[in-house]
A and B are shown apart, each in its own frame.
Chain A
Amino acid sequence: MPDRGKYAAAFSLGIRSALEYRANFLFSILGAVSPVVIQTALWTCLYDTGSGASGDALFGYSYRQMLGYVIVANLVSRLVRTGFEYDVNSDIRSGGLDRFLVKPIGYFGFRMAHFAGSKSAEGVFLGAVLAAALAVLSAFSGASFGAAAILGFVAALALALLLNFLIFWCVGLLGFWLTEIGFLFEAVRIVAITASGGIFPLTVFGPALGPILQALPFRYTIQFPTEVLCGRVAGADLARGLGLGALWAAALLALGQAIWAAGVKRFVAVGS
């Protein structure tokens, strides 16, 4: 039974490293500003039918709903973002993985606790930004964010973090086989963000591709929590979504364990 204290230590380490790189985090929040501005400008242009009114719905969203989506999705996208896959890769490269193969705390547990810690620190700050954004949205578009939506959002967010962690855990483990991997991480990230509805809601992909993307786990990392918070998904749909997301998490967990086992075997045999 792994020592509880070690997970707590990893968690605390995660918080501290998030605090130390706070400048970094601040800049990544600022980096969310530009997509919001770009997308808002684009939608404003598209929804404006010349008659002055906000026009009809596009891709299943009214103008106000689309603006809400843009702001929330971009902030959620920043919140669930990972970076630890680079650390996993460098641990594999440098042989730093060795100490985890021997210690009682597994590497997976360490990474997860560390991630949870750093996200807790970031989450406090981002939560404040999100709250402010929601206040602005309510004032501007009259949207309301009820307690049920917020609670559901928290649950969906936890699921999103778990899923994103698992996805990039699997990707990070590719370092066992590939030596230079930086570009691959970024390639996966940009595809994942797009497939998660982080740029546009998945309905823009049309009647053929859209539903396929909705079924994949990516949706639950950005689009699902966003829709929950904006009240588009509630009640039974919410429960079903959480359930499906949990199933994906279980599948990814199994996949991750399989990749880990294969990777460690290779690592021990071949070296880094």
Chain B
Amino acid sequence: MPTILREVRKHFRVYAVLLRMNLMSQMEYRANFVTGFLMELGYLAVKILYVVVAFSSGRSVAGLSPDEMLVFVGVFVTSTAFYAGIYMTNFFQLSAIVKDGSFDTLMTKPVSLQFLATLRRNDPAIFLVDFLAGSAMTIVGLSRLPGLLEAWRLLGYVFFLVCGAAVGYSLYLIPQALVFKLIDARAIAGISDSFWDFNNVPMVVYGKVGQAIGTYAIPMFLIASFPSLFALGRIGGAQLVWGGLAPVIFIAISRIAWKRGLKAYTSATG
């Protein structure tokens, strides 16, 4: 037991060093800082566009009020901060570092390879755009809805947000375990991107079957819909349980997938 704790503490320490190095490294490329910011702003605009279109149509989306939609978008955007700011770059770079050999060097370090390969790089500029814009939208929306801005609710919301981020992580990792065999990880990451994109609209839009698939089979709705349903006080009992359980299950699956993929890589590539 103490060994595991020591290892976890060590990984936190290494992550702290990596955070600092990433920040310093990116300060070097001011152009990148700015264009990364702009790119994320672009994606943010598209997310907001979905909601704006829903409004200008004059119809309602499954009975959600404008303020509730605002909360929903805000939650989705905040969630995207974790994805885009913390693990996105790593997944898109994975096949590049395999090809140029840096992956091999990482393999010889006495730190979790999965940790290094998926969390090594992070993007503070992108994280900030999404986290600030998203949190602002969520808080504004919640404040306009009676009685929703409570401490315990916010805590629970954060909990489900983190669970959603963990599920998102595994949805990226599981397909990537195939990367060791295929040419380009970007295409695979593109598929996981589409899982993420399903959260552009609240899950109620997809009907009963769609919601079931997106909750239990490929739990992409846990990323945005669950945290916002919780914040809005609209979450059901079964969803509460699954919301806490699914991340554990899927992180475990992604770990297994990673190990399988690694074994294939070290045994079979040429």
Q: Do A and B come from one complex?
A: yes
Contact A190 to B43, CB < 8 A, known contacts A21-B184, A38-B198: yes
B65 beta carbon closer than 8 Å to chain A: no
Closest Cβ neighbor of B45 among chain A residues: A194
Distance, CA A86 to CA B256, complexed state (A)? 34
Q: Could you tell me if B200 and A38 are in contact, using CB atoms closer than 8 angstroms?
A: yes
Residues of chain B lying within 8 A (CB to CB) of residue A194: 45-46, 49
Q: Which of B184-235 contact A (CB under 8 A)?
A: 184, 186-188, 190-191, 193-195, 197-198, 200-201, 205-207, 210
Q: Could you tell me if A204 and B56 are in contact, using CB atoms closer than 8 angstroms?
A: yes
A186 beta carbon closer than 8 Å to chain B: yes
Q: Could you tell me if B56 and A28 are in contact, using CB atoms closer than 8 angstroms?
A: no
A33 beta carbon closer than 8 Å to chain B: yes
Q: Which of A1-41 contact B (CB under 8 A)?
A: 21, 23-24, 26-28, 30-31, 33-35, 37-38, 41
B105 beta carbon closer than 8 Å to chain A: no
B32 beta carbon closer than 8 Å to chain A: yes
Q: Can you identify 10 A-B contacts, CB atoms within 8 angstroms?
A: A23-B184, A26-B187, A31-B194, A34-B197, A45-B62, A49-B59, A58-B57, A182-B35, A183-B32, A194-B46
Closest Cβ neighbor of B43 among chain A residues: A190
Q: How big is the A interface, by class?
A: 35 or more
Q: Indicate the member of B36, B188, B207 with the most A CB atoms within 10 Å.
A: B36
B241 beta carbon closer than 8 Å to chain A: no
Residues of chain B lying within 8 A (CB to CB) of residue A200: 49, 53
Q: Could you tell me if A187 and B38 are in contact, using CB atoms closer than 8 angstroms?
A: yes
Residues of chain A lying within 8 A (CB to CB) of residue B194: 30-31, 33-35
Residues of chain A lying within 8 A (CB to CB) of residue B43: 190
B12 beta carbon closer than 8 Å to chain A: no
Closest Cβ neighbor of A25 among chain B residues: B187
Contact A204 to B191, CB < 8 A, known contacts A21-B183, A38-B201, A190-B42: no
Residues of B in contact with A (beta carbons under 8 Å apart): 29, 31-32, 35-36, 38-39, 41-43, 45-46, 49-50, 53-54, 56-57, 59, 61-62, 182-184, 186-188, 190-191, 193-195, 197-198, 200-201, 205-207, 210
Residues of chain A lying within 8 A (CB to CB) of residue B193: 31
Min CB–CB distance B261 → chain A (angstroms): 16
A269 beta carbon closer than 8 Å to chain B: no
A184 beta carbon closer than 8 Å to chain B: yes
Closest Cβ neighbor of A20 among chain B residues: B183
Min CB–CB distance B134 → chain A (angstroms): 18
A257 beta carbon closer than 8 Å to chain B: no
A132 beta carbon closer than 8 Å to chain B: no
A46 beta carbon closer than 8 Å to chain B: yes
Min CB–CB distance A49 → chain B (angstroms): 7
A131 beta carbon closer than 8 Å to chain B: no
Min CB–CB distance A200 → chain B (angstroms): 6
Residues of chain B lying within 8 A (CB to CB) of residue A34: 194-195, 197-198
Q: Which of A46-88 contact B (CB under 8 A)?
A: 46-47, 49, 55, 58-59
Contact A180 to B31, CB < 8 A, known contacts A27-B191, A28-B187: yes
Distance, CA A206 to CA B29, complexed state (A)? 38
Closest Cβ neighbor of B59 among chain A residues: A46
